[in-house]
Amino acid sequence: MSSAKATPVSPLAPTSVPELPPIGGVGIATAQAGIRYSGRTDVLYLAMQPGTQAAGVFTRSKCPSAPVDWCREALAREGARALIVNSGNANAFTGSRGRDAVALTAKIGAEAAGCRPDEIFIASTGVIGEPLDATKFEGVLADCASRTETGPEAWAAAAQAIMTTDTFPKLGTRTATIDGTTVTINGIAKGAGMIAPDMATMLSFVFTDAALPQVVLQTLLSAGTQTSFNCVTVDGDTSTSDTLMLFATGAAGNAPVTDPGDARLSGFRAALDDLLIELAQLVAKDGEGARKFVTVNVKGATSNASAHRIAMSIANSPLVKTAIAGEDANWGRVVMAVGKAGEPADRDRLAIWFGDVRVAREGARDPDYSEAAASAVMRESDVSVTVDLGLGDGTARVWTCDLTKGYIEINGDYRS
Amino acid sequence: MSSAKATPVSPLAPTSVPELPPIGGVGIATAQAGIRYSGRTDVLYLAMQPGTQAAGVFTRSKCPSAPVDWCREALAREGARALIVNSGNANAFTGSRGRDAVALTAKIGAEAAGCRPDEIFIASTGVIGEPLDATKFEGVLADCASRTETGPEAWAAAAQAIMTTDTFPKLGTRTATIDGTTVTINGIAKGAGMIAPDMATMLSFVFTDAALPQVVLQTLLSAGTQTSFNCVTVDGDTSTSDTLMLFATGAAGNAPVTDPGDARLSGFRAALDDLLIELAQLVAKDGEGARKFVTVNVKGATSNASAHRIAMSIANSPLVKTAIAGEDANWGRVVMAVGKAGEPADRDRLAIWFGDVRVAREGARDPDYSEAAASAVMRESDVSVTVDLGLGDGTARVWTCDLTKGYIEINGDYRS
């Protein structure tokens, strides 16, 4: 958060920032509300036309932030008219004052947008345990509402406004057709960035001009999350504020589709899933201290769920992640991570690859294994680890980054 | 393993090494077998008199090492006559050649000790995935058997012989009485030490002259493990080779006790539990890169098992561990770790202490919280974190260490 400490841009950042087209029915403004620091943009206000439908998935933490509680309740009523995101203060672990703060934010937002408070969605990121002074939104949100914009610069500003310790903005776009009508999907995300005493917060917001009811949006978003954000990990530490929301304004005017399984949605579903994966990968590529982007593939497990747990055990293992940071094809640590996952595994059937170099098979070192070939794989900035358990058809794929001294520096520095 | 890289002794090492008394019926020898490197002690041979009973607990990894498989099978038959521990090679993930290697080691050991192969217990620590050449034990074990010793120097040499990247030897002793007879318990351990491409291996061996049957030993050891080694974590990565064994020679000649619940065992049980806790804490104090010893207390959980899972979630959280390394009383990260544990928790009832300084209560920052007092706690080399969930009577206590750049250095260096 502090401007005094600039972290260098991740070496895994994309070489260019995509230009996002307008989404019919969406207007964007950013502002400086002085939530924690003065002189920096800390508010995103995003207005949506009447009739906009919303869906969301949230942290599974038993200690969620006040905005997460608010969004869950607001989703129970239909309709969304504005999204308000602030940085500087996560409004988490703030007790009844936190609940009062989101209620006041929604009231101020509703007056600005001309809607009911429960049509306002709120996300906060920043320090936790500090009361959020929501009176700072007074005047600011009404001003935002009066000057919303729709072009690529507005989307870039939106992605920038929600950054905390992210080293690059995360945004992407896709198009698809629904029953012959072209629709657009834009998404922005912020990554797992922490600096003492701030809190990791993964936020992502996706917007489309498609006309789709809430039940369809929620079904597609929940399913898409399983293969995107739920497959990414930086350090295994789950935020109190994780929020992923999908808003559909309906401006594209496509034919109504009410069944999430309708075949006319196949193109939209594929485009949404693809965008969610892109955004999730960008989060891993901006993991604290990351120097390598890591894909973990597991196959041959007894089920997909079992494969996923084994893949996460590998992706969260500090020994595997430090080995990758050291460019060491240390498959012994992969064996260890498979073994500790608690899932069915047969040591003597395991095969392991780094990239396309098989280093182990049938529970022992591959006799044809070339240390030089494996080392070449490990020197790349994108490294894949593949495990075949040889037991069944279960597969999974997850993404992470390596564990470097940069992570310790960012998270272990003295607070004062 | 490499003598080229000396890691400095942990700042948490005990200031003096305890002198261990002889255990009747136990003789010790160490040797250089050249398992991986020449010119260094890499074998511990520990002979036990006929009638010695054994118990063991082992890694829950689904990919255990060949010696772990061997010990599990050998325990099914009664009687133990020798323990053979080698460093330099873990004989893990070595397929059928690993099984052949332990069988040959047991055969050579049985000839040296004059017993059946299934009375030989074996543990190996070191590189994984490399076949172990057990023929190197030929001659070496018979020579060891001819020159065993019993004094404090022999016990110190035993603790030294099983070290790999440990920075100090780990040993302890206790006495107790069983029905009026004084018995002695000695224990040695090695910690979670890794150096690429070697594997973490926690080994601990405890010996007593008490006369106790296997069923009593196994019951006491399994129970004692729950409050000692199962409560210690360095990085959450579970070894393929974790082994804890308890051997009882019977030389003390105490009255027979066959029921693990017999009240005459209360002193022995307390002494054993206490020794296991001391050895487990020594492992955490020699965690890679450790600069602080951390005790995590959880109370008010819905059950002891729930409290344990929450305590482990805190103790394994890289964000909590880096905050402690940075001497930052970052209770927000403790909230995060409680929330992600998946156990019952009510944000608005949580209270959190660092040392005896309460930093949060009723789900928000403690209004009386003194940053200066909390900072003073964090500067100590022993730091405790206490969480009261306010839900029930479940409690747990676990030990860990902080996460520093030293961990990354040790585990992330290039292998070559």
**Contact yes or no for B326 and A404 at CB 8 A:** no
**Contact yes or no for B322 and A412 at CB 8 A:** yes
Please tell me if residue A363 touches chain B, with a CB cutoff of 8 Å: yes
**Token digits for A36?**
């924690």
Q: What is the pLDDT of residue B332?
A: 86
Residue B249 predicted with pLDDT over 70? yes
Give me the mean pLDDT over the B40-51 stretch.
94
Nearest to B408 among A92, A403, A416 (CB): A403
Distance from CA of A273 to the nearest CA of B (A): 26
* Per-window interface: A 176-205 vs B, CB < 8 A: 194, 196-197, 199-200
Give me the mean pLDDT over the B291-307 stretch.
95
**Contact yes or no for B326 and A413 at CB 8 A:** yes
* Per-window interface: B 64-123 vs A, CB < 8 A: 64, 92-98
Please tell me if residue B5 touches chain A, with a CB cutoff of 8 Å: no
Which chain B residue shows the shortest CA-CA distance from A94?
A: B364
Q: Are A399 and A231 in contact (CB under 8 A)?
A: yes
Q: What is the pLDDT of residue B198?
A: 34
Spell out the residues 6+ positions from residue B349 whose beta carbon is closer than 8 angstroms to its own. Answer: B300, B362, B363, B389, B390, B391
What pLDDT digit, counting tens, does each position of B350-392 carry?
999 999 999 999 888 898 888 899 999 999 999 999 999 999 9
- Mean pLDDT of chain B, nearest integer: 89
From A97, A90, A86, A312, select the one nearest B236 (Cα to Cα).
A312
Q: What is the pLDDT of residue B159?
A: 93
As averages over each run of 10 residues, the pLDDT of chain A (416 residues) reads 58 90 95 90 95 89 87 92 93 88 98 97 87 95 97 95 86 93 92 42 86 94 88 72 88 93 94 91 84 95 95 91 91 88 90 95 88 93 96 94 85 56
Q: Is pLDDT larger for residue B202 or for residue B49? A: B49
* Per-window interface: B 220-279 vs A, CB < 8 A: 235-240
Cα–Cα dist B175/B252, whole Å: 12
Q: What is the pLDDT of residue B2?
A: 37
Helices (H), B44-185: 66-75, 95-113, 140-145, 152-161
As a whole number of Å, the end-to-end CA separation of chain A is 14
Is B201 annotated as a binding-site member? yes
In chain A, residues with a C-beta closer than 8 Å to the C-beta of B326 are: 196, 411-415
In chain A, residues with a C-beta closer than 8 Å to the C-beta of B95 are: 348, 362-364
ipTM > 0.90 (yes/no): no
Name the pLDDT band for B413 (thresholds 50, 70, 90).
low
Number of Cβ within 10 Å of residue A392's Cβ equals: 15
Distances in Å between the alpha carbon of A42 and those of A39, A79, A86, A204, B332? 9, 25, 5, 16, 21
**Token digits for A6?**
């600039």
Q: What is the pLDDT of residue B1?
A: 35
Name the pLDDT band for B138 (thresholds 50, 70, 90).
very high
Probe site for chain B from A336, A348, A389 (most B CB atoms < 10 A): A336
Q: Where do the domains of chain A lie, and which CATH numbers do they carry?
A: 26-285 (3.60.70.12), 293-412 (3.10.20.340)
What's the angle, vertex CA B63, arms to CA B62 and CA B68, rounded to 5? 100
Is A164 annotated as a binding-site member? yes
Nearest to A317 among B237, B327, B342 (CB): B237
DSSP per residue, B283-303: HHHTSTT---EEEEEEEEESS
Q: What is the pLDDT of residue B192?
A: 59
In chain B, residues with a C-beta closer than 8 Å to the C-beta of A413 are: 326, 328
Please tell me if residue B364 touches chain A, with a CB cutoff of 8 Å: yes
Q: What is the pLDDT of residue A242?
A: 79
Which chain B residue shows the shortest CA-CA distance from A359?
A: B129
In chain A, residues with a C-beta closer than 8 Å to the C-beta of B350 are: 63, 93
